[in-house]
Amino acid sequence: MRFTFLHAADLHLGSPLAGLAGRDPSVARRIALAGREAFSALVDRALDEKVAFVLLAGDIYDREWQDNAIGLFFNKEVARLHRDGIPVFMIRGNHDAASVVTRTITLPQSVGQFSTRKAETLRLDALRVAVHGRSFPDRAVEENIALDYPDPIPGWFNIGLLHTSLDGRPGHAPYAPCSLSDLRSRGYDYWALGHVHEHEVVATDPHVVYPGNIQGRSVRECGAKGAVLVDVEDGRVVDLRRVLTARAEWAMAAVDLTGIGEGTGLLAAVEAAVAQHLPADRETMLVLRVTLTGTTALHLGLSAHPETLRTEIQAAADRVHGDVWVESVKLATREPSSSVAGPVDTANFGALLARIGAEPAFRERIAGEIAIVSAKLPPIEGAPPLADDLHAIVEEARALVLGRVAGPGAF
């Protein structure tokens, strides 16, 4: 018998993107909608491939619903699968644990949701497929729940559906921790994992797979995103096919300005970098963080007018592709040691600014101003408090002043 199923995870529907909204609300709305559009594209692919079933390995939602809109959207999409006779099996992860997302909407009967109390088995008798899984009751599940999963059904294709950090994946909270040997000990044919947002085939005997999330939400989630199609024949996995779904792709571009001494050269280097990071699907929006590096005579001038610099870089990106948004521009350049003297002694003036910036009274006053500004800003999930960046803020101000007194900017 041959069949295909689709394995996805970490949809994070309803992710607020608060930090992005603070910088550009229109782009934030586009990326928020990109998550929904990615899931709709995933359902389209499942219907086109006529998959036997769909697995969703947790974090379908990002948090408690503000209203019922996100629940209705999810219901509408899985109802499309239901009408085509495609069942869905889903578990809750740390972001949509039973204690986190408390609102519910009645889903189609073909959507199987696993218990939060203990691991259980749901069956597809016609295919002789057994799906074993357990949902998170709370955000922090710290015990190894994989060891309590049911024994495999002999002669059936057994799947484990689990939201886990597996061996403590870097950058991810250690929820439902377990080892690869723990998973192998269950005797299943495929482990459908969630929680880690990068695509990874951890093992092939049996297959242990993270599909990654379907849509990147920040610059920490760069590159192509999607799910996997799994082809099974005679009770074994014969192929894995990645399905790309992201409608906005994040990337980081480092632009080396070494030896470049004029603005036109800088923009040409930016255009070349943008071209290297364009998504394979030119219909996909590119969200780009640009970091300028290298030793350049433009070093001081780059700090003088940061908004002009960002505008020029955005314009350069637009010349390469019609749908690129420059999320931010970071400066990491250096001044050549043989720089020609400008209208002021930049070395001595820079040292003077550095001494002022290091004075306790000055830093205390700046910290007070930062506290006032922070109190007026909305919180940004995952971002450190502004006060934690006191040193960086002072250094940025020093570079701006030094750049403006040292002579003309890059443009």
User: pLDDT digit string (tens) for 206-233?
Assistant: 999 999 999 998 888 999 999 999 999 9
Q: How confident is the model at residue 281 (pLDDT cuts 50, 70, 90)?
A: confident
Last residue in a domain, options 244, 276, 294: 244
Domain assignment present for 57: yes
Domain assignment present for 326: yes
Task: Report the amino acid identity of residue 222.
Answer: C
Q: What single-letter DSSP state applies at residue 33?
A: H
Domain assignment present for 284: yes
265 and 144 co-located in one domain: no
160 and 271 co-located in one domain: no
238 and 141 co-located in one domain: yes
Last residue in a domain, options 205, 224, 244: 244
201 and 308 co-located in one domain: no
286 and 343 co-located in one domain: yes
Domain assignment present for 141: yes
Domain assignment present for 411: no
Last residue in a domain, options 193, 210, 244: 244
Reported as a single tens digit per residue, the pLDDT across 24-58 is 778 878 877 899 999 999 999 999 999 999 999 99
230 and 285 co-located in one domain: no
Mean pLDDT over 72-96 rounds to 97
Residue 302: its pLDDT value, please? 86
Reported as a single tens digit per residue, the pLDDT across 367-376 is 777 777 777 6
294 and 375 co-located in one domain: yes
232 and 281 co-located in one domain: no
Q: How confident is the model at residue 360 (pLDDT cuts 50, 70, 90)?
A: confident
Residue 358: its pLDDT value, please? 73
Q: Residue 312 pLDDT > 70, yes or no?
A: yes
Residue 29: its pLDDT value, please? 80
Whichever domain contains 122, its CATH number is 3.60.21.10
Q: How confident is the model at residue 299 (pLDDT cuts 50, 70, 90)?
A: confident
Q: Would you state the torsion angle of the CA atoms of residues 183, 186, 188, 192, taken in this order, to the nearest 10 degrees?
A: -40
Reported as a single tens digit per residue, the pLDDT across 177-209 is 999 999 999 999 999 999 999 999 999 999 999
Q: Residue 249 pLDDT > 90, yes or no?
A: yes
Q: Which domain holds residue 148?
A: 2-244
Reported as a single tens digit per residue, the pLDDT across 107-141 is 999 999 999 999 999 999 999 999 999 999 999 99
Residue 306: its pLDDT value, please? 84
User: What's the structural domain count of the chain?
Assistant: 2
266 and 168 co-located in one domain: no
Q: 55 φ, ψ to 5°?
A: -110, 130
144 and 259 co-located in one domain: no
58 and 111 co-located in one domain: yes
Residue 18, Cβ density class (10 Å: 0-12 exposed, 13-18 middle, ≥19 buried): middle
Domain assignment present for 25: yes
Residues 231 and 238: beta-carbon distance below 8 Å: yes
Domain assignment present for 135: yes
80 and 14 co-located in one domain: yes
Provide CB contacts within 8 A for 101, sequence distance 6+: 61, 63, 64, 65, 92
Residue 336: its pLDDT value, please? 81
Q: H or E segment at 333? A: strand 324-334
- Strand-pair category, 200-204 with 207-210: antiparallel
